[in-house]
Amino acid sequence: MDKKLKKRKWLKWLLGTLGVLLAVAIIGLIYVNAYIGKSKPVINGELDVSILDEDVTVVRDDIGVPHIEAQSDADLYRAQGYVVAQDRLFQMDLSRRQASGRLAEAVGAAALDTDKFFRTFSLRDAAEKSWEGYDEESKQVLEWFAEGVNAFIDEAKEEDTLSYEFSLLGYEPEEWTPVDSLAIGKFMAYDLGGNWSSLAVRHWALGEFPEAKAKELFIEYPEDAPSIIEANINSQVKVAGEFDASVVPNEFNGSNNWVVSGDKTESGMPILSDDPHLGLSTPSIWYQMHLQSPEQNVSGVIFAGVPGIILGHNEDVAWGVTNVGPDVQDLYIETPHPDDPTQFRYEGEWEQAEVREEPIKVKDGETVDFEVVVTRHGPIISDLLYEEEDPEALFSMQWTALEPTLELQAVLGFNKASNWEDFETALEDFQAPAQNFVFAATDGTIAYKANGRIPIRKTGDGQLPVPGDSADYGWEGYVPFNELPTVVNPESGFIATANNEVVDESYEYHITDFWAQPYRYKRIAEVLEASDELTPEDMMELQMDKKNLYADEFLADMIDTVRAESDEYDEALALLANWDQFDHADQAAPLVFHKWMKQLPHTLLEDSFPEDVYDLMPGKNHITDAMMRDSFAGNDGTWVSEYGGVGKWLTDALETSLTEIEDEFGGDPEDWNWGEYHELTFPHPLAGASPIFESILNPDPVPLGGSNITVQAAAFDKEGNVDHGAAWRFVADLSDLSSAYHIVGPGLSGHMKSDFFHNQVDKWAEGNYHETPIDGSAEGSTLTLKAE
């Protein structure tokens, strides 16, 4: 046969085969697209919802914010449950599963250790105990909300329109319960209220290092409690070797908030601003909505799965929070009975602990028997760190959030408050996590309260684990509500918090010694003090402020120290010396500075710690900042001296940082760029399963300014991914509360086919706010939920 003919036939066959494969691929894509699309939330027209007493209107505006108008609170909360489930049911299900230690049922054995962790931390158990304490009105709201969620679940199952994630993982969601909502609230208390890991690391350090060396790893060393120090040295609990610290909350969980009085604004009325800092993800941890009935008219954000509006405003008041970060978790060194590991010594006697059987179901695997042992102080948690046979000492944990608490009851009170007295009354029920609330009202009042249960200890100040076998240690109540830090209408004309220290030495009670670095607060105060004509636009601009006061404190001394040590880094040091100390995305200096600061604890400390203990240790830069301050004052401590002095330490850390930068961006500083390293990501929980999922579920990375210490909060991981910051930003002008300004990144819908999935990514990065009205003027896609 002619070679050309053979070639033509081969090409014809190849093209035909490729055509068939392409056609199959196109058909497959069409099918997949159609399959995914059928679960897209319905936002226009009418839907029959049998649980409603009367019709409810849902208007989703141009950014995707649902405005729900109902004729009663009963229908309002039912509709809220239904609408949130439309957009976020998969996220809601994962949240309740994580809080309850039931992820392995859905995703398999890979989640087993995570489930053991959260079963041990007892969030679900605490939620169940809390339910009993709620008043009948709050219980009814939780039940109404659950009715709405379940109406959507039943409808989606019947019509085969459950979100595609459930099909990918091969399961269907169970009925929603009121305790599921409370469990999600307990998870947020976990995310915002932990100091147990600090205690475990300090305990390990006292057993590993000479006391003088261990002392430098403390924020404040408890020299007035020698019995506690002795107990930590002599009764060592095994800590190092096995723990996966990825379940520990991000140490940058925090926030900014501030409120200014009418004396400092152009309008003569207060302005309130809030931007809580949590993990950045797709979908957002926050869900924005507007709820209206004859009984209330309130707008703001919730956690998907929780009724009401947690943060926001109504027609009379606005409020926001930051994390106080008090020491609300204590570890106790427990002595188990040598023959019965469920008994522990207390006051010379053996005391029986509670044993909860917690079998963990595993998808495609056998159920794993698991038990949680609970002493008089709380659950035994040291088995999570290191499991050993016949231990002589174990850790139990006491924690405010494991007691019955009433946060949802407080939230419902906030929503209907009309003045500070109403709001402060509601605050009594907000017990865990402790939060810095700022408040403003249309009567001109501005106020602040550091609110929540803060323990009063018999002995010690929460810096170290304490002996569990003695009644001399433990808690003897909480800081009285009327003695919590409170400010109303200060002469300064403003109140601001940024997880900074909120009390001085004259305050009677211990809150914590581990406050956030002060740089965000100082910058906020600097800007607010400078003007008496502040506007909402000024507040939005301040929320996006990139001024780096961390560099302002340390950089000059760091540059001088390295120049005295070496003449090899003149170009990089000149770059830093000429920097304006704003963390702009298009500059090289922020890249060098932040890489250098992040490297300092690694260079000095990392080799002296087991990997899991080092990962567990929070506040590494707090520790090395204190060491630098001492060294710059001429007092090298033990760690710095043993390393070879502050000059060698800083120079070695700079060298490592520059090497990493050059490996990634080349040797020319003209090519270095903060934004190319520091990129916004909003990762989806399923994106890690494959590059395909990553490409369709995550937004494209966005170069970003700011950092973990600027007001525009943008904390980043070791690869430079911005994974933590103000997922919601909020500004309310009390001269006109018919609307307020919001951004929720990356968007409001959890469905990849929705127009509201990633529609706020660029807005979030650039600071373009959306004005959300509550006066009935919202326009957009209209859905009527029809009562049958």
136-171 pLDDT, tens digit per residue, is 999 999 999 999 999 999 999 999 999 999 999 999
Among 255, 299, 707, 739, the active-site one is 255
Q: Count other Cβ atoms within 10 Å, centred on residue 604.
A: 23
How big is the CA angle at 758 (ends 180 and 257), to the nearest 5 degrees? 65
Burial-class residue 291 by CB neighbours within 10 Å (0-12, 13-18, 19+). Answer: buried
Residue 22 pLDDT > 70:
no
Residue 461 has pLDDT above 80, yes or no: yes
| Residue 678 banded pLDDT, cuts 50, 70, 90 | very high
What average pLDDT score do residues 115-121 get?
97
Between 462 and 249, the higher pLDDT residue: 462
Residue 513 marked as a ligand binder: no
Q: Is 338 left (phi over 0), alpha (psi -120 to 50) or beta?
A: alpha
Provide the pLDDT confidence category of residue 26 given band limits of 50, 70 and 90.
Answer: very low
- Contacts of residue 664, defined as CB under 8 A and 6 or more positions apart, other chains included, come to 677
Q: Rounded CA gap, 485 and 448, in Å?
A: 8
Q: Is 330 annotated as a binding residue?
A: yes
Q: How many CA atoms lie within 13 A of 90 on its CB side?
A: 27
According to CATH, what is the number of the domain 46-545+739-763? 3.60.20.10
Q: Please state, for a pLDDT cut of 90, what percent of the chain lies above it.
A: 87
DSSP conformation letters of 217-248: TSSS--TT-HHHHHHHHHSPPP-SSS--GGGS
- What is the sign, positive or negative, of the torsion defined by CA atoms of 11, 17, 23, 26? negative
Contacts of 300 (CB under 8 A, 6+ apart): 288, 289, 309, 310, 311, 312, 313, 730
Kindly give the pairing relationship between strand 466-467 and strand 329-334.
parallel
Q: Is 255 a catalytic residue?
A: yes
Q: Using CB atoms within 10 A of its CB, is residue 486 exposed (0-12), middle (13-18) or buried (19+)? A: middle
8 A C-beta contact, residue 746 and residue 717: no
C-beta neighbour count of 220 within 10 angstroms = 10
**Do 573 and 561 meet the contact criterion of CB atoms below 8 Å apart?**
no
pLDDT in tens, 396-408: 999 999 999 999 9
CA separation for the pair 83, 145 (Å, rounded): 10
Averaged pLDDT for residues 667-684 = 96
Kindly indicate the confidence band of residue 34, based on its pLDDT and cuts at 50, 70 and 90.
Answer: low
The confidence score (pLDDT) of residue 436 equals 97
Token reading at 686? 């399923």
Residue 392 has which token pair?
Answer: 């002589």
Average pLDDT across the chain, whole number: 93
* Cα separation, 36 vs 275, whole angstroms: 33
Amino acid at 154: D
- Cβ neighbours of residue 702 closer than 8 Å, sequence gap 6 or more: 679, 680, 761, 762, 765
Using DSSP's 3-state secondary structure scheme, residue 760 falls into: coil
Distance between CA atoms of residues 600 and 570, nearest Å: 19
Q: Give the phi and the psi of residue 16 in degrees, each rounded to 5.
A: -65, -45
3-state secondary structure of 507: coil
Give the DSSP per-residue string, 190-208.
HHHS--HHHHHHHHHHHHH
pLDDT greater than 60 at residue 24: no
Rounded distance between C-alpha atoms, residue 230 and residue 580, angstroms: 49
Q: Which residues of 532-553 are buried (b: 16+ CB within 10 A; e: fewer)?
A: eebebebbbebbbbbbbbbbeb
Contact yes or no for 408/399 (Cβ under 8 A): no
Burial class (CB in 10 A: 0-12, 13-18, 19+), 72: middle
* For residues 719-740, average pLDDT: 97
- 324 pLDDT above the threshold of 50: yes
Calpha distance 684→676 (Å, rounded): 21
Residues 638, 218: Cα–Cα separation, whole Å: 13
- Cβ-count burial 614-634 (b if 16+ within 10 Å, e if not): bbbbbbbbbbbbbbbeebbee
Confidence of residue 33 (pLDDT cuts 50, 70, 90): low
The whole-angstrom separation of Cα 785 and Cα 48 is 6
Q: Give the chain's length.
A: 788
pLDDT above 70 covers a percentage of the chain that reads: 95
- Across residues 29-56, what is the average pLDDT? 85
Q: What is the mean pLDDT of residues 431-457?
A: 97
CA distance 539 to 162: 41
Q: Which residues pair with 731 in a beta bridge?
A: 273, 741
Residue ranges of E strands in 271-380:
271-279, 286-293, 296-303, 311-314, 317-323, 329-334, 343-346, 349-352, 354-357, 371-374
Pairing of strands 296-303, 311-314: antiparallel
Which residues are within 8 A (CB) of 61 and not within 5 positions of it... i.e. 6 or more apart? 67, 772, 778, 779, 780
pLDDT value of residue 32: 57
Cβ neighbourhood burial of 762 (10 Å; 0-12, 13-18, 19+): middle
Pairing of strands 311-314, 317-323: antiparallel
Q: Measured between alpha carbons, how far is 136 from 133 in angstroms, rounded to an integer?
A: 9
pLDDT digits (tens, 9 = 90+) for 223-267: 767 889 899 899 999 998 778 878 888 777 779 999 999 999 999
Give the per-residue pLDDT at 500. Answer: 95
Tell me the pLDDT band of 563, cut-offs 50, 70 and 90: very high
pLDDT at 15: 42
Bridge partners of residue 272, in order along the sequence: 259, 732
Span 359-369, pLDDT tens digits: 999 999 999 99
Q: Taking 80 as the threshold, does the pLDDT of residue 570 lie above it? A: yes
The pLDDT of residue 174 is: 97
Q: What is the pTM of this model?
A: 0.94
Instruction: Point out which residues pair with 730 in neighbouring strands.
Output: 274, 742
Give dist(CA 329, CA 189) in Å, integer. 11
E strand or H helix at 67: strand 66-69
